[in-house]
A and B are shown apart, each in its own frame.
Chain A
Amino acid sequence: MLILTCPNCGIAADETDLAPGGEAHITRHGPEASDDEFEGYLFHKRNPKGVHFERWRHAFGCGKWFHAARDTATLEVFGTYPAQTLEPPKALQALIRKKRPDWEGFQK
């Protein structure tokens, strides 16, 4: 039963107010994509034990999507940030690196 703070409305939302959306920062591949690219886009999702970037929707709240950086093993939340971005904010990445020195770093 997580609590994630929605960056869109500022509410520390109970997990039952949220809807999960899987891995964040996925690149959509459309009609021009190769079979491999398309397969990767649709099916190959990261599921690491440790630092992970996820999409969540504040479904029962403001209705907006946001991203959360979270440790999937300890459930520590490093931060949440708006969904309209191609990669996690630099400051957040720096914070995670500080807390998890062996983190491999953000990968697209």
Chain B
Amino acid sequence: MPEAVSSMAGAEFSGAVDIREDGLQGMVTLRGDLGDAKVAGAVKAAVGLAMPKARQIKKGKNGGVAWMSPDEVLLLCDHAGADALVAKLDKALVGVHHLAVNVSDARAMFTLTGTGVREVIAKGAPADLSPAGLPIGEIRRSRIGQIAAAFWLSEAETLHLVCFRSVGAHMFRWLENAAAADTLPGVL
């Protein structure tokens, strides 16, 4: 099969924190009644995880699931498995009003590691990036600088960020700039 490439093809940067574009990442948007047991069951069957609570993101061995809005979750999986995951969800939800769609290639995903990952994002996002404002395991949809993004911490010093693919290059440049050495205020 011809080569598939992510928005920034795994670019990396090291400054006040380390930044890398995660390469190809499978993502599936599922819209439906999140309170419906069948929808929850389909999610469980797809990624092995229970339906997340509001703003929660969970990761397991077979993928992850993030609460995006009251009728939408984002499922994380292998890039190559996203279409199969959509098919699996569609099959499980025959007769249940829903929309499952592969959005893997519509997104760019980055991981930031190091002390101060919260402060890098706080240079551009109006959200409260303090541990009290954004606990580990909570996904926040907001903007970073001028572009829309969703971000969350999986560990104290590991932050993940998703934005649209078309602005992946801009996001990377923005992160490089925001994470330049000697630029963090040191208060979060």
Task: Enumerate chain A interface residues (CB-CB to B < 8 A).
Answer: 8-11, 14, 16-17, 60-64
Contacts and interface: CB of A to CB of B under 8 A. Distances in A.
28 contacts: A8-B69, A8-B70, A9-B54, A9-B55, A9-B69, A9-B141, A10-B55, A11-B55, A11-B140, A14-B127, A14-B142, A16-B126, A17-B126, A17-B142, A17-B143, A60-B141, A60-B142, A60-B143, A60-B148, A61-B141, A62-B68, A62-B69, A62-B70, A62-B141, A63-B69, A63-B141, A64-B69, A64-B70
Contacts of B142: 14, 17, 60-61
Q: Is the interface of A mostly helix, strand, loop or mixed?
A: loop
A16 B148 CA distance: 11
Contacts of B69: 8-9, 62-64
A9 to B, nearest CB: 6
B181 to A, nearest CB: 28
B164 to A, nearest CB: 12
Given A9-B54, A60-B148, A63-B69, A14 B126 contact: yes
A17 B70 CA distance: 18
A6 to B, nearest CB: 10
Contacts of A16: 126, 143
A60 B125 CA distance: 11
